[in-house]
């Protein structure tokens, strides 16, 4: 049987002992963030992605082995298990390959072949296959199988039944299916055409603006089809706008089938077998293989789209916080007015109002006076403006207000995606029971600037607005992947246990919603945590939960400075021994990290780790955390662009160079906020001087980049951008 650990090690290009160690840790219910950060000596420092790959592939291979056993037992019970077949089943590494091998032995529903077998025609089929040089009277042979009781009335019926049986035998051959599958995958063209409407004049919803026009007469080599094209074709087919098919040279298939299935080249039954081969292919093999290939294309497209979505989400969640700021959030609107909310530097709601600067009320002066009053009263540092309805008009008002009143605050445009989802949620109602939904959503907009991660994890990731095709891909896989991203980000940054919300704590390694709720309840009843060990008093936090979670739960202001680092409590004794060996008192660490640099300089890390009694990776992590207690890794990234004046699309000129923020990344490029209402498109062909295969290799959501305007379409509100040093048509 397949050695799963050896196979995994080979597949992932790591040592088998690493795989064994990781699987053992999974059996002990260790989480991936915990293993990646605190068990480096066991795993050889494997990253989270590799750990997830081990878990996913291990589950797949275990399922494969279990399925093998079921199939072997089934075939053995039928008395048809040969040594050769047993070896093929035991050594196969793909479920599809396994199911192909099982196909001839799988209990079948009623088919043309099973009907023919029931009529006693299987021996005739075997005779045709086993006697290529038959020289007798075939009509007489056929007559032997006539049977009124079994409803075989004519020799033509007997022959047709035999051909049905042979066709199914050909279709059931794993080798034939493999050969045809490889040919179709390597030679097909994916084609789509527009489905003609049965009732002319009745427009389908999906055809408004001709969103599928590109695919009305579309074809592409299957090897070159892009993931987004596959998803678009699938959607068009689901909406009955497009008909999609695979086209290839069907004339070459029969020879491939015959050379694979038959052991001889010539037979007196050539004509009969030719018909059986054609029937096997057109009726049985082609439809199922075509479904398989379409499913494979869809699976690959799903995986790609999900990875792009996940990458964008990760970058969005890890946007640097503008902490220690007082922020005004404005949710723009026309008829219902624009909601204004103030939050302090902890995210606490301070004040709010509604202004009506835009049509139909047009109370611009009153609105500006109200906003200026709030800015001055609360010393607002940043005004966060939602990017939805009336955003452009509100931005113009705020820019004019800052200029007219000589205010020191800046403004920033913030994505509203998901704010309405949050505002209507149970969590939002619990956080702000006395406020209306629109004001709760506005507070969320402001908090996204203060701490993007802490706020955005409250919202279904699919609603955050950084993906394409999220409704077209496998929803279960999408949610699993996005949950992994959120979990990874939360544990990468760490959590202040005294300020974190229940949703944020829920994603911490080892915790769940119930325990997170218990932590917050305990905090509210007994006051702030002042020591990590106090977490053990929380209901549901036993030794295992504490082990998995403690290192990610930080306590700024704790008497023990280690509590505000990623140093795990299990390493506190080792950390104290290290400081004693280096003759560095704990209180000196608080004052200056340079003290530790001097103490460690010139020391042999391996020797030092041995004296302290820990592994080198853990020692290096401890030293890094002692140097930078309370470190938030997001703060090292470029801060968002803050503005005090506004640009209009009419102000832009080709050749103009601007700074912009990447808002979304797709297969064909990236959308960049350059300070006007419309995001510019940085097409993949304009991302670099060199050829770019994947935009994510060049830019990511949140990147601050320099771009040049190479095209402006005022009528359609489109802006084309480039990062190339020399751009065509621009002087």
CATH number of the domain enclosing 341: 3.30.420.140
> Model's pTM, two decimal places?
0.87
Q: What pLDDT score was predicted for residue 729?
A: 53
Q: Are residues 654 and 631 in the same domain?
A: no
Bridge-based pairing state of the strands 217-221 and 189-194: antiparallel
Q: Which of 76, 105, 134 is the last residue of a domain?
A: 105
Q: Are residues 10 and 80 in the same domain?
A: yes
Q: What pLDDT score was predicted for residue 351?
A: 97
Q: Would 343 be classed as within a structural domain? A: yes
Q: Would 45 be classed as within a structural domain? A: yes
Tens-digit pLDDT profile for residues 229-249: 999 999 999 999 999 999 999
Q: Are residues 445 and 387 in the same domain?
A: yes
Q: What pLDDT score was predicted for residue 587?
A: 77
Range of the domain at 681: 649-722
Q: Would 588 be classed as within a structural domain? A: yes
Q: Would 101 be classed as within a structural domain? A: yes
Q: Which of 66, 87, 105 is the last residue of a domain?
A: 105
Collapsing DSSP to helix, strand or coil, 400 comes out as helix
Q: Are residues 606 and 691 in the same domain?
A: no
Report how far residue 484's alpha carbon sits from residue 465's, in angstroms, rounded to the nearest whole number.
Answer: 18
Q: Would 592 be classed as within a structural domain? A: yes
Q: Would 278 be classed as within a structural domain? A: no
Q: Are residues 653 and 711 in the same domain?
A: yes
Q: Would 347 be classed as within a structural domain? A: yes
Indicate the number of domains in the chain: 4
Tens-digit pLDDT profile for residues 386-415: 988 999 899 999 999 999 999 999 999 998
Q: What pLDDT score was predicted for residue 108?
A: 86
Q: What pLDDT score was predicted for residue 726?
A: 64
Q: Would 25 be classed as within a structural domain? A: yes
CATH number of the domain enclosing 554: 1.10.150.310
Q: Kindly give, in sequence order, each residue whose CB lies less than 8 Å from that of residue 525, ignoring residues fewer than 6 positions away.
A: none
Q: Are residues 626 and 705 in the same domain?
A: no
Token digits for 494? 């760490």
Report how far residue 615's alpha carbon sits from residue 40's, in angstroms, rounded to the nearest whole number.
Answer: 9
Q: Are residues 611 and 684 in the same domain?
A: no
Report how far residue 405's alpha carbon sits from residue 536's, in angstroms, rounded to the nearest whole number.
Answer: 53
Q: pLDDT above 90 covers what percent of the chain?
A: 82
Q: What pLDDT score was predicted for residue 199?
A: 61
Residues in the chain predicted with pLDDT less than 70, given as ranges, are 1-2, 198-209, 468, 590-593, 726-731
CA-based nearest residue to 498, from 435, 419, 545, 558: 558
Q: Which of 636, 660, 686 is the last residue of a domain?
A: 636
Torsion of CA 16, 20, 21, 24, to 10 degrees: 170
Q: What pLDDT score was predicted for residue 635?
A: 86
Q: Are residues 629 and 676 in the same domain?
A: no
């Amino acid at each position: 049987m397949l050695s799963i650990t050896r196979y995994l090690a080979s597949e992932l290009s790591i040592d088998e002992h690493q795989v064994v160690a990781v699987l053992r840790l999974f059996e002990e219910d260790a989480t991936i963030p915990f293993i990646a950060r605190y068990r480096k000596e066991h795993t050889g420092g494997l990253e989270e992605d590799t750990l997830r790959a081990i878990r996913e592939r291990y589950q797949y291979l275990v399922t494969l082995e279990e399925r093998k056993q079921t199939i072997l037992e089934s075939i053995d019970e039928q008395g048809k298990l040969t040594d050769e077949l047993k070896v093929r089943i035991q050594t196969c590494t793909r479920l599809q390959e396994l199911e192909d091998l099982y196909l001839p032995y799988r209990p079948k529903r009623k088919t043309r072949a099973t009907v023919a077998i029931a009529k006693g025609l299987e021996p005739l089929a075997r005779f045709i296959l086993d006697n290529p040089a038959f020289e007798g009277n075939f009509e007489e042979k056929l007559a032997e199988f006539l049977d009124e009781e079994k409803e075989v009335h004519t020799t033509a019926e007997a022959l047709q039944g035999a051909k049905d049986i042979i066709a199914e035998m050909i279709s059931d051959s794993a080798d034939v299916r493999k050969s045809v599958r490889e040919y179709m995958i390597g030679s097909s063209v994916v084609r789509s055409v527009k489905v003609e409407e049965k009732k002319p004049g009745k427009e389908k919803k999906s055809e408004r603006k001709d969103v599928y026009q590109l695919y009305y007469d579309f074809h592409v080599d299957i090897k070159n089809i892009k993931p987004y094209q596959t998803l678009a074709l699938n959607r068009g087919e689901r909406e009955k706008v497009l008909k999609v098919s695979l086209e290839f040279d069907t004339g070459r298939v029969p020879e491939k089938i015959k050379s694979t299935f038959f052991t001889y080249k010539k037979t007196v039954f050539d004509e009969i077998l030719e018909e059986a081969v054609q029937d096997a292919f057109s009726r049985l093999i082609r439809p199922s293989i075509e479904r398989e290939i379409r499913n494979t294309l869809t699976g690959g497209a799903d995986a790609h789209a999900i990875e792009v979505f996940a990458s964008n989400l990760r970058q969005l969640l890890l946007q640097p916080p503008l902490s220690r700021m007082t922020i005004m959030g404005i949710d723009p609107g026309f008829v219902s007015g624009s909601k204004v909310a103030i939050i302090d530097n902890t995210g606490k709601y301070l004040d709010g109002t509604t202004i009506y600067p835009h049509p139909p009320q047009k109370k611009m002066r009153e609105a500006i006076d109200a906003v200026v009053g709030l800015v001055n009263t609360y010393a607002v540092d940043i005004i966060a403006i939602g990017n939805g309805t009336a955003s452009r008009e509100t931005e113009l008002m705020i820019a004019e207000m800052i200029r007219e009143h000589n205010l020191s605050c800046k403004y920033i445009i913030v994505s509203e995606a998901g704010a309405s989802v949050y505002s209507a949620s149970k969590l939002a109602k619990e956080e702000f029971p006395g406020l209306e939904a629109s004001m709760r959503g506005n507070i969320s907009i402001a908090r996204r600037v203060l701490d993007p991660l802490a706020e955005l994890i409250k919202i279904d990731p699919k609603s955050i607005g950084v993906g394409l095709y999220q409704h077209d891909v496998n929803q279960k896989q999408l949610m699993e992947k996005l949950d992994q991203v959120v979990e990874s980000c939360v544990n990468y940054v760490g959590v202040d246990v005294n300020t974190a919300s229940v949703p944020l704590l829920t994603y911490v390694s080892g915790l769940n919603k119930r325990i997170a709720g218990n932590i917050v309840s305990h905090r509210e009843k007994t006051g702030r945590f002042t020591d990590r060990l106090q977490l053990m008093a929380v209901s549901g936090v036993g030794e295992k939960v504490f082990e998995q979670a403690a290192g990610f739960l930080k306590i700024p202001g704790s008497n023990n400075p280690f509590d505000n680092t990623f140093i795990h409590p299990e390493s506190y004794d080792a950390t104290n021994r290290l400081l004693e060996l280096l003759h560095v008192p704990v209180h000196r660490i608080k004052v200056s990290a340079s003290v530790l640099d001097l103490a460690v300089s010139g020391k042999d890390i391996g020797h030092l780790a041995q004296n302290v009694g820990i592994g080198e990776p853990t020692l290096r992590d401890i030293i890094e955390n002692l140097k930078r207690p309370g470190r938030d890794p997001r703060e090292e990234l470029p801060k968002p662009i803050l503005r005090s004046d506004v640009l209009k699309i009419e102000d832009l000129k080709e050749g103009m160079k601007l700074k912009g923020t990447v808002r979304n990344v797709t297969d064909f490029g990236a959308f960049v906020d350059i300070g006007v209402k419309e995001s510019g498109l940085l097409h993949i062909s304009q991302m670099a001087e060199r050829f770019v295969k994947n935009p994510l290799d060049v830019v990511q959501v949140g990147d601050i980049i320099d771009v040049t305007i190479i095209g402006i379409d005022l009528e359609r509100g489109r802006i084309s951008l480039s990062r190339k040093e020399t751009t065509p048509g621009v002087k």
